[in-house]
Structures are given as structure tokens and as C-alpha cells.
């Protein structure tokens, strides 16, 4: 399994937080690419939004000061694209997130075993970028990692960004064969059950893939910058206000159809304060 780890000691590679781009505040590098996607891949009708669910106070799951990126760059059965945009520019994740975390770890995974080994590692911020199937699980080159196993093996996490399609809709059977949503396993609505994460942003339905072509005029990737903005604001004002700010900037700065694709597929749940 390919992986690489960075620390703040390599400070010459790390950019300043002032360099983090507010969602949509710069022009796209290639307007023709965006317009093509707008006309061919984006949904014109408004996508019904799920109301965010915020719990009072700060998160109670303790995590190390680590940002964890779990990325699949391989073609998997049933899909024709990958998430290679996260690592296509050398050190882009380090440059972006290194100022906010002591450690930035990138795990490039392709098999179920590699994915399992990566998700158990605790992290303050964890982004999972693989394809997903509503009923089967997370897509790997050697088959599906079932949602049940994914949820039960997930390590302690502060903020979890789940990019796999249908991760917000996924259902699984608990050990007593009780059917339950994946989100209820990792962050229950009842305090009677322990939570694995302090906050999660999951994907409802078949989410829109913000691929390699979506870069700002300065070369930074739109989705990497969007998550950097969210994490930065979480550190400043807490999870609820951070997500509200990200929503406001997305609606104000992006084309309405693009904003609809981003926000319409997000399901937000977590503790309102620090995570």
C-alpha cells in the first residue's frame, strides 16, 4: 500500500492559512471545462436538502492532531474514474493542511485490506475518497468492503468527510441483526450509545464528483480547498458555524447549479462546537 506521511518539520512546503481559498472566490482555471460539466453532468432541478443535525456542545471523541486522507487512484469495477485529483499535484495536501495539523497522512488504497488498515488509524480529520454502492459498501479493486465492516472498524475520528456515493443512505445489520443506518452506528442520535466520530459530512445519493478539471485560476483544487476552508473554520468557530459559513459562501460564490450539486448531496451531523 502506497502511503506517505508529513510533519510540520517540513515547514518550507506548508502554505499560510491566508492562502486557503473561500469557496468560489476565485475564477476557474478552465471555464470551458466547467461549462461542459454544467451542461452535461449537473442536475438542473433543485436537489432536496437534508436538514443538518447538530448536537449541543463539543465532541467527546479524543483524537490525535492528524489529518488522514484515504484515496483510491485505481479504476474499480462499475466505475470509470478515480480520485487521483487529491494527489495529482505533488504535496498539495501537505501544503494545504500542514499548517493546521501536526501530521498529514495520505494513504493510497485499492484493496479491501488496505482500506481496512487505513480507516482504523485515529485522526482529527479524515477524508475518505472512494466510490460507494448503496447496498453493498465501499468499492475496491477486489470487491466491496461492506458498510457494516467499514462502520465497525472505523477508528476514532474528529471530522469525517465521506465522499463515497450513498454513504449517507447506507444501511447495515448490527451484530444482533438489527438494521440501522451507517450514520447511526458511527454517530448515534442517542447518547445511550458511544460515537466513533464527533462530526460527519456524508454523501446522499450519487454525489457529484469534483474531479481533476475543477481547479481555480491559481492551480489549487476546488474540493481540496473547500475542505481546507471547512476545517479552518471548524478550528475557529466550531462545527455548526463552519458548515453554515461554507454553505453561505458556496451559495453566494458558485454557479447555483454547481452549489446545488455540492449542498444537495451533503448530509451533515455532529457536535456544534469543537471537534
Domains delineated in the chain: 2-271 (3.40.50)
Mean pLDDT taken over the chain: 92
Question: Cα(274)–Cα(58) distance, rounded to whole angstroms?
Answer: 5
Select from 21, 203, 262, 5 the least CA-distant residue to 123.
Answer: 5
Exposed/middle/buried for 256, CB within 10 Å: 0-12, 13-18, 19+?
exposed
Question: Cα(14)–Cα(21) distance, rounded to whole angstroms?
Answer: 15
Instruction: Categorize the per-residue pLDDT at 125 as very low, low, confident or very high, splitting at 50, 70 and 90.
Output: very high
pLDDT tens digit sequence for 81-119: 999 999 999 999 999 999 999 999 999 999 999 999 999
- Residue 250 and residue 126 in contact, taking contact as beta carbons nearer than 8 Å: no
| Residue whose cell numbers read 456544534 | 272
Give the per-residue pLDDT at 5: 52
Select from 190, 145, 137, 195 the least CA-distant residue to 166.
Answer: 137
Q: Check whether 11 has a pLDDT greater than 70.
A: no
The reported pTM is: 0.93
Of all helices (H) and strands (E), which one includes residue 231? helix 222-237
Amino acid at each position: 500500500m502506497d502511503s506517505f506521511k508529513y510533519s510540520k518539520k517540513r515547514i518550507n512546503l506548508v502554505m499560510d492559512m491566508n492562502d486557503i481559498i473561500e469557496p468560489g472566490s476565485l475564477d476557474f482555471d478552465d471555464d470551458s471545462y466547467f461549462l461542459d460539466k454544467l451542461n452535461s453532468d449537473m442536475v438542473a432541478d433543485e436537489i432536496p436538502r437534508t436538514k443538518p443535525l447538530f448536537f449541543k456542545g463539543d465532541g467527546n471523541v479524543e483524537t490525535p492532531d492528524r489529518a488522514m486522507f484515504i484515496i483510491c487512484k485505481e479504476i474499480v469495477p462499475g466505475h470509470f474514474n478515480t480520485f487521483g485529483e487529491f494527489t495529482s499535484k505533488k504535496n498539495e495536501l501537505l501544503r494545504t493542511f500542514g499548517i493546521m495539523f501536526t501530521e498529514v497522512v495520505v494513504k493510497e488504497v485499492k484493496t479491501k485490506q488496505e482500506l481496512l488498515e487505513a480507516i482504523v488509524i485515529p485522526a482529527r480529520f479524515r477524508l475518505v475518497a472512494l466510490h460507494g454502492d448503496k447496498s453493498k459498501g465501499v468499492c475496491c479493486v477486489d470487491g466491496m468492503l461492506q458498510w457494516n465492516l467499514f462502520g465497525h472498524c472505523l477508528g476514532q475520528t474528529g471530522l469525517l468527510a465521506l465522499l463515497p456515493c450513498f454513504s449517507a443512505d447506507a444501511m447495515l445489520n448490527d451484530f444482533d441483526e438489527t438494521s440501522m443506518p451507517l450514520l447511526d452506528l458511527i454517530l448515534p442520535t442517542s447518547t445511550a450509545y458511544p460515537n466513533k466520530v464527533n462530526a460527519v459530512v456524508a454523501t446522499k445519493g450519487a454525489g457529484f464528483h469534483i474531479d481533476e478539471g475543477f481547479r481555480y485560476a491559481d492551480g489549487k483544487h476546488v474540493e481540496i480547498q473547500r475542505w481546507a476552508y471547512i476545517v479552518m473554520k471548524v478550528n475557529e468557530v466550531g462545527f455548526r458555524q463552519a458548515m453554515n459559513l461554507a454553505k453561505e459562501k458556496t451559495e453566494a460564490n458558485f454557479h447555483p447549479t454547481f452549489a446545488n450539486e455540492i449542498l444537495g448531496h451533503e448530509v451533515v451531523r455532529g457536535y456544534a462546537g469543537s471537534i
